[in-house]
Chains A and B, each alone.
Chain A
Amino acid sequence: MVVGEIARPVDVLVIGGGPGGYNAAARAAELGKEVVLVEDGQLGGVCLNVGCIPSKALITAAEQHHRAQAFAARGIPAGDGPVDLGATQSWKAEVVDQLVGGVRTMLGKVEIVDGFARLLDDRRVSVESADQVSHFRFDACILATGSRPIELPGLEPDGERVVDSTGALSFDQVPTTLAVVGGGYIGLELGTAYAKMGSRVTIVEALERIGTGFDPELVRVVEQRLGALGIEVLTGARARAAVEGKLTVETAEGESVIDADRVLVAVGRLPNTGELQLDNAGIEVDAGGHIPVDEQGRTSSRRIFAIGDLVSGPALAHKAAAEGRVAAEVIAGLPSAADATVPLIAFTDPELASVGMTEEDAREAGQEVVTGKARFAASGRALTLGATEGLVKLVVGREDEMVLGVHVVGPDASDLISEGAVLVECALRLDDVLGTIHPHPTLGESLHEAALAAARRLVR
């Protein structure tokens, strides 16, 4: 510590302005705390700037283009000509700008400091900006620095041919051939979007199946669709090197070479803990680089909280936001805990969404369950949307008939899952679903149908 330097006191210091950080800051301010939020890049974090939001803009654009062709056969003429990705990118940028502005408004009284924060000890932080270093002394600190894409040796992003998800969201032209390394949700989403815009796409996955984390029965529907879109999926395959428009891939059968003007590497994310200088506050990370916390988000240092991608669990914006609000409430002395189930969603084609236990989870937990399924092929609304692939699957406790899990693959699954989340979170039972009127004709009816199917399989 430099002699004579003065640390400014602040109630709550939030490091990181992504969905976790800005929600934490806004909630703490709402609860009467004086809050400083430190961000060294753009407010909104990965989610708003180079993640959820821009990718959804691109996915929607690609889907519109693709569906226009499908509806040409139904009497609605499709516009001609190739995709103008530059124009799509401008629209995407407008969407992002608008939302970043919205975050600034939402932060209200929170003071936003532009700079890079490092812990000095368990009460103080230094913030380095372009022209100065300032110091803060906090009553409580919330670490929310998020994560970054994992880099594969030999396939480091070069800003041109090999890119991470950020790079793939900024292509100014649709690549002729695209290899996607990683069959998790980011790879599946972007691979599908570019295939719909005209790329020839190959997905390279090291594990034996893609879409891990979701019920395999649901993933099969997505796999069929990938095939219909002409996307080749190589499982049990390792990407080795990208040279001159080709990607070398190693499988059990040997080495092969696939065409790839561009290579997208999307094999997971790593917590951004390296530069926080956690050791100054006595905080250690676990083997996966995550910061261990209790249910309230508190680290081993009692004034310091960590949330979102920094802690274990899926690296998802809604999880970070929920944990951020919990940390703010705990700091303000409210009874709060991050004890809610995190829904998982993927904007694949069709969309995947899941909350609570899968059939497999229940089996491993030794829990007796029945499942109920309803296929969208039998849904009036799905037929009129021209999107009939997929199903809703309910996992229900055999004894108590509680809804333990809801899993959807199909049109608008990402929206449908919120009802499932309420069912699971409130420990509602099959009769609660059956006794709730689901309006006709909607996709939501299928959840009711799945409940009926589960009820038929119970001895009642």
Chain B
Amino acid sequence: MVTEFPLPDVGEGLAEAEIVRWLVAPGDAVTADQEIVEIETDKALVGITSPVTGILVRHGADEGDILAVGSLLAVFDDGSDGEQDVALAPVATASGDGVAAEDASAADAAPASPAAGDVAAPRRKPKATPATRKLARSLGVDLTTVEGAGPGGRIVDADVERAAAGDPSSEAGEGPGTPPAGEQSPPAGVPSSPRAAAARPKVQPPQGEDRRVPMRGIRRAVARTMTESWTTVPHVNSIHEVDLHALQTLRAQLKAAGTPIPVTAFLVKSVAHALREYPVLNSQLSADGEELSLKHRINLGVAVDAPDGLIVPVVEDADVRSVHGIGVELTRLAEQARDRSVPQERLRGGTFTVNNYGPLGGWFGTSLIKPPEVAILSMGPARDRVVPRDGEIVIRPVAVMTLAADHRVADGNEIIGFCVAVREALEAPIRLLVEE
């Protein structure tokens, strides 16, 4: 049977990869798990292995091509006949007239979308319960790449968690990646609960001697991003005071009306609104600095604290969504962050980042841009301050807002203009409720 093999998601938020070198030519025989191609992601050189034993019929892309995850990588023929593609569905199987029957099988033999699998068709499923499969989806783990340590090769929750943390021991049993004492994987047959893991503090105090902790998972990803940002992006910071009196009044009214909306939702909406006016800040700069990609969608990453470190789930199309809708989504994302169930795809595709560090305290702060994005806006807590208004001294809740922008991409007039637009939106927030 001929099967199409799409470029798999090799993790680390990869959206596309470059084909560096083909190791198997069309027409050559391959065995399952044999390395067939080397690809380069923005992070590493990775070998991709064959999913089947058979013949590699053709390459889906040439060396040097950039391929999106999910695009056709290669076509295999495993030598079996493809009869099971014929419609199995008793209802879809037309009878009484041969023409209709032919239609039904033709439809199933040629699915227009590679992902459009026939749910009824028998196929080899990962040896995991639905609960474990759900955990894998929430942690972005592809179960076909995980070897199960459970009874009979069953994939248990602990296997998925190890794979999610990037621990090589999930694939090769005990190895150099064995975690420190206290984090040993449970013995085979004793599945661990994901909730037990979530309850662990981020870093446990060492006792008696120094403890070496490998930089893994989120921590490693954050470290790489921050190093890249600090060493390659010329940051410029623009600092503004925002009067949140009107916003606090409006939120109190909304809350009394039974529709509480978090501050961050208004901040997100204000930023999205201002980005429409200043599209240069809603863009991505190529790694070589040679090309700026102005994004047609406004997808705002919002920094959220999670058990393993900061994560930045994305609120898509923030410009066309209601403040209330954004608020509901932010609340849900915060909950998902807490129990580590933010879907992997929600961590990608951001075009600008918003960071409301107010709940943590402090007064004034700056943030590092998350490349390839070109700006990040952070806001601190609202504190009562004495301010002059119309020649009078009044007390108003004031917060400090800082925009860090990539100075290669934006100049002062754009940076300040954008900040003023955000400030004006936050200071007259009722407009945000009625406009799109």
A pairs with B: yes
A213 lies within 8 A of B93 (CB): yes
Q: Out of B84, B95, B332, B342, which one reaches A183, CB within 8 Å? A: B95
**B127 within 8 A of partner (CB):** yes
| Segment with Cβ contacts to B, from A191-199, A291-299, A441-449 | A291-299
Query: Does any Cβ of A come within 8 Å of B88's Cβ?
Result: yes
B336 to chain A, nearest CB (A): 7
For B103-115 the 0/1 string (1 means CB < 8 A from A) is 1101110111101
- Tell me if B80 and A364 are in contact (CB < 8 A): yes
Most interface-central of A181, A287, A312, A356 (chain B CB within 10 A): A312
Partner of A344, one of B120, B124, B130, B333: B120
State in angstroms the CA–CA spacing of A292 and B118 once bound together: 10
Contact yes or no, B90 A214, CB < 8 A: yes
Cα distance A206–B92 when bound, in Å? 14
How far, in whole Å, are A316 and B90 apart by their CA atoms in the complex?
10
The answer to whether A315 touches B91, judged by C-beta atoms less than 8 angstroms apart, is: yes
B381–chain A nearest beta-carbon distance, Å: 27
Say how far A162's CB is from chain B's closest CB, in angstroms: 12
Cα of A361 to Cα of B82 in the assembled complex, Å: 11
Other-chain contact of B94, A267, A362, A425 (Cβ < 8 Å): A267
B contact residues around A184 at 8 Å (CB): 90-91, 93-95
In this complex, the member of B90, B120, B130 whose beta carbon has the largest number of chain A beta carbons within 10 angstroms is B90
**CA gap between A204 and B115 in the complex, in Å:** 36
Which of these binds chain B: A61-69, A107-115, A327-335, A381-389? A327-335
Closest chain B residue to A299 by CB distance?
A: B113
Interface size on A, residues (CB 8 A): 80
Known: A213-B88, A213-B93, A312-B107. A338 touches B325 (CB 8 A): no
Looking at A84-92, A126-134, A398-406, the stretch in contact with chain B turns out to be A398-406
Residues in B with CB closer than 8 Å to A425 are 129-130
Which residue from A288, A314, A323 sits with its C-beta under 8 Å from B90? A314
Within 8 Å by CB of A346, from B90, B96, B120, B127, lies B90
Q: In the complex, how many angstroms separate the beta carbon of A182 from the nearest chain B beta carbon?
A: 5
B92 touches A268 (CB 8 A): yes
A207 & B343 in contact (Cβ 8 Å cutoff)? no
Q: Are B108 and A288 in contact (CB under 8 A)?
A: yes
Say which one of B147-155, B215-223, B302-310, B412-420 lies at the interface with A: B147-155
Q: Which residues of A does B touch, CB under 8 Å? A: 9, 11, 32, 139, 150, 152-153, 181-187, 204-207, 210-214, 238-239, 265-269, 284, 286-290, 292-295, 300, 311-316, 319, 323, 332-342, 344, 346, 356-358, 361-362, 364-367, 400-402, 404-405, 425-427, 429
Instruction: Given contacts A213-B90, A323-B119, list 15 more A-B pairs with CB under 8 A.
Output: A206-B96, A206-B101, A207-B93, A267-B97, A268-B94, A293-B113, A313-B118, A319-B119, A344-B90, A361-B122, A364-B84, A401-B152, A426-B129, A427-B125, A427-B126
